[in-house]
């Protein structure tokens, strides 16, 4: 029986003609009142109550593991909205907001309720949140300990990785930092991974490349043959001395420089290849004169930072964080944070002791990192 049949059958006596006269304002208002009440009755009939939920669980045939999983999932049910609201305040794209919120919710599902409650209370009180500590060197775990959020929660969400709405990778720590630090949020213009205090913030984990893969921009070693360097299948010949590792290019350059009489011409040739072949652009102009060619570590560090300047110029961020999280990283939470112009950030990275992969003729845009395979000095 639909709602109109019900009115005609059960409520016709309320109207003088046995049906509502729509030209009569009083009868029209009475009809609308009856309809609204009937709709509410129908809605109440379909409403699921807590008792319905309890009965459903009692009727299910569940083993102990299933009961435990259902319990954790049920107690965690209400965490979705605070997580989503926090990311929404941090200006995350609506296309990805639900996905990230569900992923974080799932990560904390098996954590004890009292610890999850502490996390949700922290999210629900944004005025009490802490800012990201902008020291040159620091540790994310130590910084996050000041939030009061339990370690079990921090450990879960800081390792979260995903993909954004453009199918680009979202690295470890990015969403976690947005949730937990007051002044960190989504990128405001797409030029960085995140924003900090409303400005673009780029994040790189252990072993990350700075832009395109380095193998596509090799140094033309043939330019240096007049100065005694030849490339071997593995390594280099410098005069009569063989250097057996390809990733000892900084050492090869230093030895060739010490042996050649045309030192200025040698440096000019190296500069030309870094500009024309490796395409380090603004980085060459900024740092080439800082290189001490008698010192392999100076060659290593300055060329690696030339690539950082090139990358920062291209991407347009003015805050940068390198941390040690990654599939091959120490994952201790150590980080280096710098800010300013590309050249200012490069100088701060050098001061902080940033590490890069050893240079090779085909790896002059080296990966950044903290692990044992990354070095600041090439010896």
Which tens digits make up the pLDDT trace of 33-86? 877 777 676 666 667 777 877 787 788 787 888 888 888 888 888 999 999 999
Q: For residue 257, give the nearest of 308, 283, 282, 291 by alpha carbon.
A: 291
Q: Which two tokens stand for residue 43?
A: 């809605």
Helix (H, G, I), strand (E, B) or coil at 149: coil
Which tens digits make up the pLDDT trace of 206-251? 999 999 989 999 999 999 999 999 999 999 999 999 999 999 999 9
Q: For residue 4, give the nearest of 19, 22, 24 by alpha carbon.
A: 19
Considering the entire predicted model, what is its pTM?
A: 0.81
Helix (H, G, I), strand (E, B) or coil at 10: helix
Contact 260, 239 (CB under 8 A): no
- pLDDT(379) > 50: no
Question: Using CB atoms within 10 A of its CB, is residue 45 exposed (0-12), middle (13-18) or buried (19+)?
Answer: exposed
Which tens digits make up the pLDDT trace of 267-284? 999 999 999 999 999 999
Helix (H, G, I), strand (E, B) or coil at 356: strand
What is the average per-residue pLDDT within 239-268? 96
Quote the pLDDT of residue 375.
58
What are the two backbone dihedrals, phi and then psi, of residue 92, each rounded to the nearest 5 degrees?
Answer: -75, 145
């Amino acid at each position: 029986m639909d709602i109109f049949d019900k009115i005609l059958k059960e409520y016709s006596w309320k109207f003088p003609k046995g049906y509502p006269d729509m030209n009569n304002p009083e009868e029209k208002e009475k009809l609308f009142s009856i309809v609204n009440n009937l709709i509410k009755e129908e809605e109440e009939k379909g409403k699921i109550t807590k008792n319905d939920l309890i009965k459903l669980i009692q009727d299910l045939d569940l083993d102990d593991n299933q009961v435990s999983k259902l319990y954790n999932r049920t107690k965690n049910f209400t965490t979705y909205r605070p997580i989503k609201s926090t990311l929404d305040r941090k200006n995350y794209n609506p296309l990805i907001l639900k996905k990230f919120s569900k992923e974080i919710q799932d990560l904390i599902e098996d954590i004890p309720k009292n610890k999850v409650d502490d996390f949700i209370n922290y999210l629900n009180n944004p005025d009490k949140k802490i800012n990201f500590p902008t020291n040159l060197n620091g540790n994310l775990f130590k910084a996050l300990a000041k939030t009061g959020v339990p370690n079990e929660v921090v450990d879960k969400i800081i390792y979260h990785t995903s993909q954004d709405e453009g199918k680009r990778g979202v690295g470890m720590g990015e969403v976690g930092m947005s949730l937990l630090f007051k002044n960190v949020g989504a990128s405001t213009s797409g030029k960085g991974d995140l924003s900090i205090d409303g400005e673009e913030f780029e994040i790189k984990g252990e072993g990350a490349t700075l832009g395109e893969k380095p193998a596509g921009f090799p140094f033309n070693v043939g330019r240096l043959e007049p100065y005694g360097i030849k490339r071997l299948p593995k390594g280099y010949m410098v005069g009569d001395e063989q250097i057996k590792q390809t990733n000892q290019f900084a050492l090869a350059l230093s030895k060739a420089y010490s042996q050649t009489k045309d030192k200025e011409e040698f440096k000019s040739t190296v500069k030309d290849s870094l500009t024309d072949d490796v395409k380090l652009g603004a980085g060459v102009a900024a740092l080439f004169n800082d290189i001490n060619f008698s010192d392999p570590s100076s060659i290593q560090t300055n060329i690696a930072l030339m690539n950082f300047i090139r990358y920062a110029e291209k991407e347009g961020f003015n805050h940068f964080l390198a941390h040690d999280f990654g599939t091959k990283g120490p994952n201790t939470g150590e980080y280096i944070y710098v800010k300013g112009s590309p050249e200012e950030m490069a100088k701060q990275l050098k001061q902080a002791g940033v590490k890069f992969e050893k240079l090779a003729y085909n790896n002059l845009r080296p990966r950044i990192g903290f692990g044992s395979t990354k070095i600041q000095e090439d010896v």
